[in-house]
């Protein structure tokens, strides 16, 4: 059997090695357009910033090491220009010599990945304008930084690559501005969770121009002008386009393979395309979202690696199946960590799912053990069924651990109520006896049993201030004095039992504390004293973060400077 693989990196290289492990006699040929057949995509921004010092560390395998270990013919700088399913060949161009030839195959695997989106804007292609996809792109950016010593950079786009590149360039001392058409960064997160990411970036001096559209670029002496819609242009020493990726599926389209969402390649759960004997994996393929069951594009290394293994199994006569992806992801934002799994609230509503949510702000480990830091957790579930839909966490240590537990719970089909039953490891340096994941389950159980009713941060400003309801803040006098919502009466929770006569039992009462815990305790006191009580989920801390984020975005001038 002869297998030709188009594209290396995560999916293609994984499949090649797996095929060899399953079939010692298979002939395997991999064609890779770049000069590197297997490299760490996710590490590229960290080489730009010098965190990864040796470029060789980015290269996981070389053609020579693949041959020595697996006897696989890896040909870099070879571009497949056409696929001919009718005669089972591919047309190939050697980018070094210009030679063109056809290569036959018995089975074909397409792993072309995704390419950076470069909309047809004026000025795309200027010398000081970069994209980041390959090792060559990374070397070009780092060489420019070392040679030209730029002092400023504009990044167009606000996803993973943009934020990681922004952080690394900021750590090198550059003045960094991120321009993003949507009004928030990091699409997997809901706005109130993204607000913590925005605050961290601003804390480190990165300017955010959200809700702005880039309309083109102009070259000026020693710089680039970034043209913005209806606003003054931005001047920068360099620009990085990171506005997203699009499936690189020209070969598949021209070969007549069925295409799906955004021209991605349609595959079945065995990773086989509409043409028998041709498989496809990675960022170029359409998959099923595990939570919604809808078609999706998920550009992450984890699913690509799994798909490569599954395709290899089936190429070698097995019957492996890809059951879908839920988009579990994590990102470092300076000293902070943000992670998500499943779907967010926006996606749930778009899919017609009736969702509910809880917020909590637990410490990363036992409060009495030094060094614990607060994380903010949002867990989404389907109302009525309590099916877990997704989770988002922003914090410091322990974020990755909790998101992985929640991702596993979603994959295992656990309900939100069953989170309270998980038997999770505990020692004071690592967690609390009631882990944050367990706590989320307890909170959801309280909602299910009617022990507590809640309202949310985006409803607080719309509560009536005409006296028809009671608004109550139960934090300490110092906390209340440092900032509170308009119209909220103040009674510290520890004084509440003695001061119940100050409150009107005939009116609904809405209660707030800093994180939602003390206000929950207050609601239990009030409910058992005859009050109709509602707790602010996530507390004043979440409310304040979201409101301050909105205010910061409104204060920002097009040049990235605040009016103040």
Tokens of 124: 């795309």
CA gap 564, 206 in Å, rounded: 16
The length of the chain, given as a count of residues:
564
Q: What is the pLDDT of residue 45?
A: 87
Active site residue ranges:
42
Q: What is the pLDDT of residue 100?
A: 97
SS3 305: helix
CA gap 526, 51 in Å, rounded: 53
Q: What is the pLDDT of residue 564?
A: 27
| Phi, psi angles (nearest 5°) of residue 322 | -100, 120
Q: What is the pLDDT of residue 467?
A: 95
List the one residue out of 251, 18, 3, 179 whose CA is nearest residue 108. 3
CA distances from 280 to 52, 89, 287 (A): 31, 16, 11
DSSP string, 333-401: ETTEEEEEEE--HHHHHHTT--EEEEEE--BSS-TTSTT--B-EEEEEEETTT-BEEEEEEEEBTBHHH
CA gap 113, 260 in Å, rounded: 15
| Phi, psi angles (nearest 5°) of residue 251 | -60, -45
Q: What is the pLDDT of residue 510?
A: 98
Q: What is the pLDDT of residue 126?
A: 85
List the one residue out of 403, 362, 389 whose CA is nearest residue 517. 362
CA gap 329, 322 in Å, rounded: 18
CA gap 392, 328 in Å, rounded: 10
List the one residue out of 356, 362, 458 whose CA is nearest residue 416. 356
CA distances from 284 to 169, 304, 429 (A): 29, 10, 42
Find out whether 339 and 393 touch, Cβ atoms under 8 Å: yes
Q: What is the pLDDT of residue 115?
A: 81
Q: Which residues pair with 207 in a beta bridge?
A: 177
pTM: 0.93
Long-range contacts of 366-374 (CB under 8 A, 24+ apart): 366/428, 366/429, 366/431, 366/432, 366/433, 367/432, 368/428, 369/428, 369/429, 371/429, 373/397, 374/515
CA gap 437, 421 in Å, rounded: 10
- Let me know the angle formed at the C-alpha of 449 by 443 and 455, rounded to the nearest 5 degrees: 55
| Edge-to-edge strand ranges of the sheet holding 278-280 | 73-76, 27-32, 2-6, 107-110, 278-280
Q: What is the pLDDT of residue 343?
A: 97
| Phi, psi angles (nearest 5°) of residue 381 | -145, 160
Where are the extended beta strands (E) located within 40-169? Answer: 59-61, 73-76, 78-84, 89-94, 100-104, 107-110, 114-116, 129-131, 152-156
- Let me know the angle formed at the C-alpha of 553 by 552 and 558, rounded to the nearest 5 degrees: 115
Cα distance between the two ends of the chain: 69
Tens place of pLDDT per residue across the chain (564 aa): 999 999 987 899 999 999 999 999 999 999 999 887 766 677 888 888 889 888 777 766 788 888 999 999 999 999 999 999 999 999 999 999 999 999 999 999 999 988 877 778 888 888 899 988 888 888 899 999 999 999 999 999 999 999 999 999 999 999 999 999 999 999 999 999 999 999 999 999 999 999 999 999 999 998 999 999 999 999 999 999 988 788 999 999 999 999 999 999 999 999 999 999 999 999 999 999 999 999 998 888 889 999 999 999 999 999 999 999 999 999 999 999 999 999 999 999 999 999 999 999 999 999 889 999 999 999 999 999 999 999 999 999 999 999 999 999 999 999 999 999 999 999 999 999 999 999 999 999 999 999 999 999 999 999 999 999 999 999 999 999 999 999 999 999 999 999 999 999 999 999 999 999 999 999 999 999 999 999 999 999 999 999 999 888 877 544 433 332
């Amino acid at each position: 059997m002869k297998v030709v693989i188009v594209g290396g990196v995560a999916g293609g290289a994984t499949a090649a090695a797996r095929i060899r492990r399953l079939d010692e006699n298979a002939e395997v040929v991999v064609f890779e357009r770049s000069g590197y057949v297997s490299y760490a995509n996710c590490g590229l921004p960290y080489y730009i910033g010098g965190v990864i010092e040796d470029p060789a560390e980015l290269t996981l395998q070389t053609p020579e090491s693949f041959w020595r270990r697996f006897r696989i013919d890896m040909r870099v700088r070879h571009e497949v220009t056409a696929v001919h399913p009718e005669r089972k060949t591919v047309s190939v161009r050697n980018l070094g010599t210009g030679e063109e030839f056809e290569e036959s195959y018995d089975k074909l695997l397409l792993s072309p990945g995704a390419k950076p989106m470069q909309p047809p804007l004026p000025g795309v292609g200027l010398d000081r304008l970069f994209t980041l996809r390959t090792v060559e792109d990374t070397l070009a950016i780092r060489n420019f930084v070392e040679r030209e010593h730029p002092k400023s950079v504009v990044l167009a786009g606000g996803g993973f690559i943009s934020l990681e590149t922004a952080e690394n360039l900021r750590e090198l001392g550059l003045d960094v501005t991120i321009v993003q058409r949507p009004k928030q960064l990091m699409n997997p997160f809901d706005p109130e969770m993204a607000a913590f990411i925005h605050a961290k970036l601003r804390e480190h001096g990165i300017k955010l121009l959200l809700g702005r559209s880039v309309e083109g670029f102009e070259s000026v002496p020693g710089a680039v002008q970034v043209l913005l819609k209806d606003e003054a242009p931005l001047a920068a020493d360099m620009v990085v386009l990171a506005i997203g990726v699009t499936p690189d599926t020209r070969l598949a389209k021209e070969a007549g393979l069925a295409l799906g969402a955004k021209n991605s390649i349609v595959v079945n759960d065995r990773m086989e395309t509409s043409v028998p004997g041709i498989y496809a994996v990675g960022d170029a393929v359409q998959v099923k979202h595990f939570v919604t069951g809808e078609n999706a594009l998920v550009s992450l290394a984890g699913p690509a690696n799994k798909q490569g293994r599954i395709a290899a199994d089936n190429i070698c006569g097995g019957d492996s199946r890809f059951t879908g992806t839920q988009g579990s992801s994590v990102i470092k934002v300076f000293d902070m960590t943000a992670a998500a799994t499943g779907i967010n609230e926006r996606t749930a509503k778009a899919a017609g799912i009736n969702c509910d949510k809880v917020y909590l702000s637990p410490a990363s480990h036992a409060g009495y053990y030094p060094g614990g830091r607060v994380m903010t957790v949002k867990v989404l579930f389907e109302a009525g069924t309590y099916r877990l839909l997704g989770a988002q966490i922003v914090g410091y240590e322990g974020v990755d651990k909790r998101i992985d537990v929640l991702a596993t719970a979603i994959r295992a089909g656990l309900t939100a109520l069953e989170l309270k039953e998980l038997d999770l490891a505990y020692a004071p340096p690592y967690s609390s006896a009631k882990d944050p994941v367990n706590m989320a389950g307890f909170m959801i159980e309280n909602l299910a049993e009617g022990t507590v009713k809640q309202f949310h941060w985006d409803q607080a400003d719309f509560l009536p201030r005409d006296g028809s309801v009671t608004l109550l803040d139960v934090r300490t006098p110092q906390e209340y004095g440092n900032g509170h919502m308009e119209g909220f009466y103040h009674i510290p929770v520890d004084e509440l039992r003695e001061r119940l006569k100050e409150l009107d039992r005939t009116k609904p009462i809405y209660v707030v504390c800093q994180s939602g815990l003390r206000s929950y305790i207050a609601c239990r006191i009030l409910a058992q004293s005859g009050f109709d009580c509602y707790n602010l989920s996530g507390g004043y801390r979440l409310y304040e973060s979201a409101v301050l984020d909105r205010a910061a975005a409104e204060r920002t001038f097009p040049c990235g400077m605040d009016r103040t």
